[in-house]
Amino acid sequence: MKAFMIERYGDMAGVRAGDVPDPQAGVEDILVRIHAASINPLDLRLRDGAFKAILPYRLPLILGNDLAGVVVEVGSAVTRFAVGDEVYARPDKNRIGTFAELIAVHQDDVAAKPATLTMEEAASLPLVALTSWQALVERAQVQPGQKVLIHGGSGGVGTIAVQLARHLGAHVAATASTAKVELVKELGADVVVDYRKQAFETVLDGYDVVLDTLGGETLKKSLQVLKPGGKVISVAGPPDAAFARELGLNAILRLVMSALSFRIRRRAKRRNVTYSFLFMEAGGEQLRTIAPLVDAGKIRPVVDRVFPFDQTREAMEYVEKGRSEAGKVVVAMT
């Protein structure tokens, strides 16, 4: 089969297309012919080698963390799917590789594709929808009436998180650029702060939850808008010891992770709020819960542009250079 892979960590020069053996489905796996996949910042960070100390992939590595496609083979112990089923998924972190024609995925990490979506729309959802769900539902346990701030409201995670937070009954604020303010309002944000014109920390206050997708100074300033007992959950900030424990890392790496996040955790503690880092996990059950929300119109995907599969490198460069207007960039196999 054809696939896009990295042969060495670094820039786009290390990404190439090539022929690789077809994957083999295990007894609890399904083999999916991929119709579409989407580009995530995670793909770029993996390409750069940002996680090579904690996710020791063997090179060459096929990139890609989202898919939508059709089941073409099922393992002998598979009970949930049959050949011909349309599915979407974010494979487990140890089994990524959706920039390819085929992939073998454990049945627990897959869900039936939302019926109302095209393959391209469905492929844009899994990673960002799971990230939003795990941050807002599982970790923050957002309740009706709570105040939630989402940074990067027009981004891949942001567009879904805004809609999910609204569905959960929260008062939703988001940050966005001038050109994206109206889109983020349409997605359900009650307040949109144009970061080109206003400093969010000077106009927002008393929030229960902040979902940080940007890190850096934005993360530090986010602590100021939380009320006592509030939570900032970051997908872009420094990893913490809890993340290291989730990955089963050794004591030395747990200490390293703890040190990396020490300053932001100390800042949070001084303000009587909490900081945690989120690295989303695959979850077919969660995708099965999200699909009806999509089909009911509660959550809609936002797709910026679709590239043909043979332009996957160009699609990655498009994302890396910040050319995306809003939402996700997708590659289509057909």
Residue 292 resides in a domain:
no
d(CA 241, CA 149): 25
Residue 155 resides in a domain:
yes
Cα 296 to its chain centre, rounded Å, is: 22
What does the buried/exposed string (b/e) look like for 100-138 if buried means 16 or more CB atoms within 10 Å of the residue's CB? bbbbbbbbebbbbbbeebbbbbbbbbbbbbbbbbbbbbe
For 71, the token pair is: 């089941």
Answer yes or no: do 230 and 321 share one domain: no
The per-residue pLDDT for 113 is: 98
The per-residue pLDDT for 322 is: 87
**Conformational region of residue 268, where left means phi above 0, alpha means psi within -120 to 50, and beta covers everything else:** alpha
d(CA 272, CA 231): 9
User: Residue 223: what residue type?
Assistant: L
The per-residue pLDDT for 334 is: 73
d(CA 163, CA 330): 20
Answer yes or no: do 160 and 24 share one domain: no
Answer yes or no: do 29 and 148 share one domain: no
Answer whether 273's CB lies under 8 Å from 310's CB. Answer: no
Residue 179 resides in a domain:
yes
Answer yes or no: do 111 and 237 share one domain: no
Answer yes or no: do 205 and 271 share one domain: yes
Answer yes or no: do 89 and 194 share one domain: no
Which H or E run contains 216? helix 216-222
Provide the strand spans (E) within 20-101.
Answer: 29-39, 61-62, 67-74, 86-89
Domain count of the fold of the chain = 2
DSSP 50: T
Answer yes or no: do 107 and 90 share one domain: yes
Answer yes or no: do 109 and 238 share one domain: no
Q: Domain of 193: which CATH number?
A: 3.40.50.720
How many of the other CB atoms lie within 10 Å of CB of 160?
30
Answer yes or no: do 253 and 137 share one domain: yes
Answer whether 245's CB lies under 8 Å from 235's CB. Answer: no
For 294, the token pair is: 């999509």
Answer yes or no: do 141 and 261 share one domain: yes
Residue 290 resides in a domain:
no
Residue 296 resides in a domain:
no
What residue has token string 């050949």? 83
Residue 284 resides in a domain:
no
Answer yes or no: do 133 and 38 share one domain: no
How many of the other CB atoms lie within 10 Å of CB of 298?
14
Answer whether 212's CB lies under 8 Å from 136's CB. Answer: no
d(CA 192, CA 198): 10
d(CA 224, CA 163): 24
Say how many residues make up the chain: 334
Residue 76 resides in a domain:
yes
The pTM score is: 0.96
The closest alpha carbon to 49, from 94, 3, 6, 97, belongs to 6
Answer yes or no: do 139 and 267 share one domain: yes
Angle separating helix axes 156-167 and 126-133, nearest 10 degrees:
50
Burial of 270 (0-12, 13-18, 19+ CB in 10 A): exposed
Q: Domain of 20: which CATH number?
A: 3.90.180.10
Domain span at residue 219 reads 127-277
Answer whether 237's CB lies under 8 Å from 275's CB. Answer: yes
The per-residue pLDDT for 246 is: 80
Give backbone dihedrals phi and psi of 105, rounded to 5 degrees, phi first: -130, 140
pLDDT of the chain, 334 residues: tens digit per residue: 999 999 999 999 999 999 999 999 999 999 999 999 999 999 999 999 988 877 889 999 999 999 999 999 999 999 999 999 999 999 999 999 999 999 999 999 999 999 999 999 999 999 999 999 999 999 999 999 999 999 999 999 999 999 999 999 999 999 999 999 999 999 999 999 999 999 999 999 999 999 999 999 999 999 999 999 999 999 999 988 888 888 787 888 888 888 889 999 999 999 999 999 999 999 999 999 999 999 999 999 999 999 999 999 999 999 999 888 899 999 999 7
